[in-house]
Amino acid sequence: MRNVESALEVKPSTGKEKAPMMAAAQFAVKKAVQKPQEICEVIEKNESQAMKAALQFAVKKRVPCSEPAPKPIVASPIKLSVTSHYAVKNAVTEAYGVFDSMEQAIDAGFQAQVNYVKDYKLQDRERLINAVRQSIVAEKETLAKLVLEETKLGNYQDKILKHELAALKTPGVDILKAEAFTGDDGLTIVEHAPFGLIGAVTPVTNPTETVINNSISMLAGGNAVVFNVHPSSKKACAYVVTLINKAIKAAGGPLNLVTMVKDPTLETLNPIMESPKVKLLVGTGGPGLVRTLLKSGKKAIGAGAGNPPVIVDETADMENAAKSIILGASFDNNLLCIAEKEVFVIDRVADDLIFQLLNQGAYMLDRYQLDKIMSLTLEENHQEEARGCSLNPKRKYHVNKNWIGKDAKAILSQIGVTAPANVKLVICEVEAEHPFVQLEQMMPILPIVRVKDLDEAIQLAVTAEHGNRHTAIMHSKNLDNLAKFASAIDTTIFVKNASSLAGVGFGGEGHATMTIAGPTGEGITSAKTFTRQRRNVLAEVKK
């Protein structure tokens, strides 16, 4: 209690001020122990300089079990309100890790990472990451609603699953296995060392999920991360960055291991690319973003677009194929880059597949409705080259962004079709050259192309994939056919007889990621991706 007694030994300048100052000091000590934030507010509001000095002195002398001081670099607070639409009503929180300028975010993240590698071991990293996982899972419904309200993309239930997937199936430090070589000449150990501060860019399609996935992976690797999130998701991302930092702090870790700028733009990416404090760049988005990061002169990991084709041959289990295709193509309204985007089916079994798709709830367009859907969801280019996500260099149409990620029922309603309430996917029969086949739509509209045989299916599928080397799916019981398509398409993810979601651990083995680095070759990213190899050599002394 010595600190408490010292705190009460406040010498007022006059006898008149003695009683209120002693009372203030007693109040300060009590509140410093119970609720440090409240006493700080009292200090700010008090107009008496003598009283303020007494309060400040008392807080400095507070008992050791209270909140430590001084605090590390903390973002200037902004308010994050959760509207009555959310499960948590009128919640307001101080935003940890969210800064007014990108330079501040970089500086804070850099200092946090220095402390992180100096003071925290692998087991500490895992403890902090587990705290983050628990925090995200506890708030998954709120996060899903935040993202849906801000971006207007996807659907609520699937976003809950995506947040849970990112939180629980992103691997931690367990994936960082050291490698050892022993022999007559001694011992060599290859470890995974951190890069330092990583600069990361996230998409609007999976904003908070990518922040969660990247943060867990990068923290497991001993790094800190500064995000330049998509502007259309900045509020939801600020919420999750705050959530992550609070979880880390509550578990005894340093603040600001995860930071972002409050108002991100294309321009706020420049400090990340130029700062010597940022050692690695990671971008999840289209080819334009990847090219920009690669021009920075720093090592960059780029996750680009995809236009995943599906092949269904005559040996496939049609019921399972239809069920899997609907699950993957409709999940979160087709926002995932791994999702089924077009189907090539052998003509002799095409009717069977379509029947099964309809039987499981898909809605099929007639020719008249197809024309109306095209007019609604596609726009003709007014420039020589479209600027969409696909690597397809020249095309006549691009996707109308107003309909990306919208519900199938809403799209159908817009063209005058009253569909069942449970419809999740729209299907249509088209030719291989149709823009619905060649464009990455990110809508629950799935084109189906009839082909004469497997060779034609593979040729058309490779063309439609546009060299993205992202994801492909095949339904077949013929192992030779599966191997033939896998070799020809050469994608990062190849799924056999299941939904595309199995490729990221949802209904399949293996871990999850929201950053699939096809363009730069790292593939399914994890903590291991965000580390450097460090070789420690102990040589045998020769006599």
pLDDT at 288: 87
Burial (CB count within 10 angstroms: exposed 0-12, middle 13-18, buried 19+), residue 539: exposed
Q: Is residue 232 located within the same domain as residue 367? A: no
Segment 32-57, tens digit of pLDDT: 444 444 444 444 444 444 444 444 54
The last residue of a domain, from among 303, 332, 354: 303
C-alpha to C-alpha distance for 130 and 217, rounded to whole angstroms: 12
The last residue of a domain, from among 303, 330, 359: 303
CATH number at residue 268: 3.40.605.10
Q: Is residue 313 located within the same domain as residue 299? A: no
**Cα distances (Å, whole numbers) of residue 11 to 17, 25, 57, 499:** 10, 11, 11, 73
372 three-class SS: helix
Q: Is residue 20 located within the same domain as residue 95? A: no
Cα dihedral 483, 486, 490, 494 sign: negative
Question: What residue numbers bound the domain in which 165 lies?
Answer: 79-170+192-303
Our measurement of the distance from residue 343's CA atom to the centroid of its chain's CA atoms, rounded to an integer in Å, reads 27
Q: Is residue 293 located within the same domain as residue 353? A: no
Q: Is residue 352 located within the same domain as residue 433? A: yes
- Tokens describing residue 535: 């070789």
- Report the first-to-last Cα separation within the chain, whole angstroms: 64
DSSP string, 13-81: SSGGGHHHHHHHHHHHHHHHHH-HHHHHHHHHH---HHHHHHHHHHHHT--TTS--SS----PPP-EEE
Where would I find the H helices in 386-542?
A: 408-414, 435-438, 454-465, 479-489
- Residue 536 forms part of a structural domain: no
**pLDDT (tens place) for every residue of the chain, 543 residues total:** 334 333 334 444 444 444 444 444 444 444 444 444 444 444 444 444 444 444 454 444 333 333 333 333 333 333 443 333 333 333 334 569 999 999 999 999 999 999 999 999 999 999 999 999 999 999 999 999 999 999 999 999 999 999 999 999 999 999 999 999 999 899 999 999 999 999 999 999 999 999 999 999 999 999 999 999 999 999 999 999 999 999 999 999 999 999 999 999 999 999 999 999 999 999 998 888 989 999 999 999 999 889 999 999 999 999 999 999 999 999 999 999 999 999 999 999 999 999 999 999 999 999 999 999 999 999 987 433 333 444 444 557 889 999 999 999 999 999 999 999 899 999 999 999 999 999 999 999 999 999 999 999 999 999 999 999 999 999 999 999 999 999 999 999 999 999 999 999 999 999 999 999 999 999 999 999 999 999 999 998 877
DSSP string, 335-351: TSTTS--EEEEEHHHHH
**Cα distances (Å, whole numbers) of residue 127 to 133, 173, 504:** 10, 10, 24
What long-range pairs does 45-51 form, CB within 8 A, spacing at least 24? 48/17, 50/12, 50/13, 50/17, 50/21, 51/17, 51/20, 51/21, 51/24
C-alpha to C-alpha distance for 28 and 252, rounded to whole angstroms: 25
- Tokens describing residue 155: 């659907």
Q: Is residue 258 located within the same domain as residue 392? A: no
Q: Maximum distance among all alpha carbons in the chain?
A: 101
Burial per residue of 494-512, b for 16 or more beta-carbon CB atoms within 10 angstroms, e otherwise? bbbbbbbbbbbbbebeebb
Q: Is residue 374 located within the same domain as residue 399? A: yes
The last residue of a domain, from among 266, 287, 303: 303
- Residue 204 forms part of a structural domain: yes
Q: Is residue 135 located within the same domain as residue 231? A: yes
- Residue 277 forms part of a structural domain: yes
Q: Is residue 285 located within the same domain as residue 388? A: no
Cβ–Cβ < 8 Å for 230, 203: yes
Total number of domains constituting the chain: 3
DSSP 318: H
Paired residues of 282 in beta bridges: 200, 301
Q: Is residue 388 located within the same domain as residue 504? A: yes
pLDDT at 543: 76
Cα dihedral 296, 297, 301, 306 sign: positive
- Residue 187 forms part of a structural domain: no
Segment 219-241, tens digit of pLDDT: 999 999 999 999 999 999 999 99
Q: Is residue 299 located within the same domain as residue 338? A: no
- Residue 530 forms part of a structural domain: no
C-alpha to C-alpha distance for 118 and 114, rounded to whole angstroms: 6
- Residue 175 forms part of a structural domain: no
CATH number at residue 387: 3.40.309.10
Q: Is residue 433 located within the same domain as residue 320? A: yes
* CA nearest neighbour of 226 among 194, 198, 254: 198
- Residue 523 forms part of a structural domain: no
Q: What share of the chain is helix, strand, coil (3-state, %, to 5)?
A: 45, 20, 35
- Residue 517 forms part of a structural domain: no
